[in-house]
């Protein structure tokens, strides 16, 4: 495991940050802000510079499966950061995020609260993911939409 030039902010009680063997993080900001938050990074993940992983608000989880590849400037946030009220009641609670194994998030991807990304999927450059994405597909856009099913990808270059 390699963790270089990362900022880790933890505030609250009973929070857990689990980084499994073989993970490689460089210039990543990690935030656990609340009580009983869990942020887990799977084995052999590569998470690029200026990525922001935020598990904010009590009892939220942000789970990243094994062998994921996150390019630069990727953001994952379990919360909007501020309450939105309607008739005095909060209408935007925090929600968990789960990223399956072997998922590739390209440059400048944002994953919002409540999203699950299925294993083997790719999210294209500059995409904002507002709803869950199936496994083994490509999705892109703002908001991201599925473009192609039944895909696979590998980390080796073919040229």
Q: And the tokens for 159?
A: 């040229």
| 131 domain residue, yes or no | yes
User: What pLDDT was estimated at residue 76?
Assistant: 99
Q: What is the pTM of this model?
A: 0.96
Please check whether residue 129 is in contact with residue 117, taking contact to mean a CB–CB distance below 8 angstroms.
yes
Q: 72 CB contacts (<8 Å, ≥6 apart)?
A: 48, 49, 50, 51, 107, 108
Report the distance separating Cα 116 and Cα 128, nearest Å.
Answer: 13
Q: What are the tens digits of pLDDT across the range 69-104?
A: 999 999 999 999 899 999 999 999 999 999 999 999
| 9 domain residue, yes or no | yes
CA angle 103, 3, 29 (to 5 degrees): 70
| 29 domain residue, yes or no | yes
User: What pLDDT was estimated at residue 159?
Assistant: 74
The dihedrals phi and psi of 148, each to the nearest 5 degrees, come to: -150, 145
| 158 domain residue, yes or no | no
Domain CATH for 116 = 2.160.10.10
| 66 domain residue, yes or no | yes
| 157 domain residue, yes or no | no
User: What pLDDT was estimated at residue 61?
Assistant: 99
What does the pLDDT profile of the chain (159 residues) look like in tens digits?
999 999 999 999 999 999 999 999 999 999 999 999 999 999 999 999 999 999 999 999 999 999 999 999 999 999 998 999 999 999 999 999 999 999 999 999 999 999 999 999 999 999 999 999 999 999 999 999 999 999 999 987 777
SS3 54: strand
| 144 domain residue, yes or no | yes
Torsion, Cα 103 2 29 116, to 10 degrees, reads 20
Report the Cα 32 to chain-centroid distance in Å: 13
| 101 domain residue, yes or no | yes
Report the distance separating Cα 112 and Cα 126, nearest Å.
Answer: 13
Report the distance separating Cα 87 and Cα 13, nearest Å.
Answer: 31
Structural domain harbouring 59 = 2-148
Phi-psi map region of 89: left, alpha, beta (phi>0 left; psi -120 to 50 alpha): beta
What is the tally of structural domains in the chain? 1
């Amino acid at each position: 495991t390699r963790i270089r030039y990362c900022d880790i902010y933890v505030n609250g009680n009973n929070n857990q940050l689990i980084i499994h063997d073989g993970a490689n993080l460089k210039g990543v900001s990690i935030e656990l802000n609340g009580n009983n938050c869990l942020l887990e990074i799977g084995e052999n993940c590569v998470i690029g510079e200026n990525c922001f992983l935020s598990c904010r608000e009590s009892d939220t989880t942000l789970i990243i499966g094994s062998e994921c590849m996150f390019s630069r400037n990727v953001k994952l946030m379990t919360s909007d950061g501020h309450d939105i009220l309607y008739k005095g009641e909060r209408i935007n609670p925090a929600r968990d995020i789960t990223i399956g194994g072997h998922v590739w998030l390209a440059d400048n991807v944002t994953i919002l609260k409540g999203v699950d990304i299925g294993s083997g999927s790719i999210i294209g450059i500059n995409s904002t993911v507002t709803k869950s994405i199936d496994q083994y597909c490509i999705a892109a856009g703002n908001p991201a939409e599925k473009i192609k099913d039944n895909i696979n990808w590998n980390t080796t270059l073919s040229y």
